[in-house]
């Protein structure tokens, strides 16, 4: 899935309790991709601004990415790492940190929305290299329903919040 959809899904699915939780879930929803792509994107921008032009272009080939991107991508897109962190945080706080589930949900969505050709999801890393051959999120069959479902989820949330407010008001 694209990074903005991940952030929006994280927020609406696991950040509805309070405002701070929303932004935490929004950020954690985007985190696996931020972790892997912030540095190479910044490097490309610096190279562009230092007058090298866009000779590098946009990278559509996996082979064009430096090795550390794959390592960071594997760490962020592993359900093994996610589960270990989620349980670790749970033990430390003595209660689960719900916005963190946005990270796990990111990985879950990516498993099915990346084809084997472009960053398939290494969700069993480091134990297994198995990757599912899904359908790319850029495909209209995925992308259009995704936008519609996001709009529906946020619409329902806004509607239920309004209803809550009205009910509280009437209860006074």
Minimum distance between the CB of residue 119 and Zn ion, rounded to whole angstroms? 7
* Binding interface with Zn ion (CB under 5 A): 32-33, 110
Least distance between Zn ion and beta carbon 166 (Å): 38
Nearest distance in Å: CB 2, Zn ion: 9
Sole residue written with tokens 């272009």: 57
Q: Is the peptide bond before 126 cis (omega within 30 degrees of 0)?
A: yes
Nearer to Zn ion, 25 or 33 (CB): 33
- Nearest CA to 133 out of 148, 147, 152, 119 is that of 119
Is 61 or 160 the residue whose CB approaches Zn ion more closely?
A: 61
Least distance (Å) between residue 92 CB and Zn ion: 26
Phi, psi of 53 (to 5 degrees): 65, -165
As measured in angstroms, the least distance from the Cβ of 73 to Zn ion is 8
Q: Which is nearer to Zn ion, 1 or 24 (CB)?
A: 1
* Closer of 24 and 31 to Zn ion (Cβ): 31
Give the integer Cα–Cα distance in Å for 91 and 106: 22
Query: What are 8's two structure tokens?
Result: 């929006």
Long-range CB contacts for residues 165-170, cutoff 8 Å, separation at least 24: none
Distances in Å between the alpha carbon of 73 and those of 61, 76, 105, 118, 133? 15, 5, 15, 12, 17
Nearer of residues 108 and 157 to Zn ion, judged by Cβ? 108
Give the Cα separation of 16 and 11 in Å (integer). 7
């Amino acid at each position: 899935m694209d990074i903005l959809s991940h952030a929006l899904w994280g927020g609406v699915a696991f950040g509805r309790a309070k405002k701070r939780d929303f932004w935490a879930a929004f950020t954690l929803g985007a985190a696996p991709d931020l972790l892997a792509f912030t540095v190479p994107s910044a490097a490309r921008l610096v190279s562009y601004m230092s007058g090298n032009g866009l000779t590098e272009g946009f990278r559509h080939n996996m082979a064009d990415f430096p090795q550390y991107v794959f390592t960071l991508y594997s760490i962020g897109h592993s359900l093994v790492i996610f589960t270990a962190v989620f349980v670790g945080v749970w033990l430390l706080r003595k209660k689960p940190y719900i916005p963190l589930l946005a990270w796990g949900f990111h990985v879950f969505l990516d498993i099915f929305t990346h084809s084997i050709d472009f960053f398939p999801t290494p969700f069993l890393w480091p134990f297994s290299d198995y990757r599912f051959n899904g359908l790319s999120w850029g495909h209209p069959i995925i992308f259009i329903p995704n936008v519609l479902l996001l709009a529906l989820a946020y619409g329902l949330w806004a509607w239920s919040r309004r209803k809550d407010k009205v009910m509280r008001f009437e209860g006074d």
